[in-house]
Amino acid sequence: MKYKIERTNKFVKQYAKILKQKEFKEEEFIKVLKLLVNDEILPVKYRNHLLIPKNKRNMGMPYTK
């Protein structure tokens, strides 16, 4: 495990809200979370993208402005 997940108050509130949605699949969420924690590249179906353009972490996706 390369990264540690810290649950902020904002995350807890948003997670509780999204759990109520019918189309939310918790198993898929856990699967993606494990990929991110282990610094692996996400499969194409998840539309991998950089959240912060100036992030030095290379996710296998080129950033174009």
Reported as a pLDDT band with limits 50, 70 and 90, residue 53 is low
pLDDT reported for residue 65: 46
pLDDT reported for residue 16: 94
Q: Which domain holds residue 2?
A: 1-65
pLDDT reported for residue 52: 61
Task: Tell me the pTM.
Answer: 0.61
Residue 61, pLDDT above cutoff 60: no
- Using one digit for the tens of pLDDT, what is the confidence trace for 2-39? 888 888 999 899 999 999 999 999 999 999 889 888 88
What total number of domains does the chain contain? 1
Taking alpha carbons only, the member of 38, 40, 2 closest to residue 48 is 40
| Alpha carbon distances (Å) from 43 to 20, 28, 30, 59 | 26, 12, 14, 11
Length of the chain, please? Answer: 65
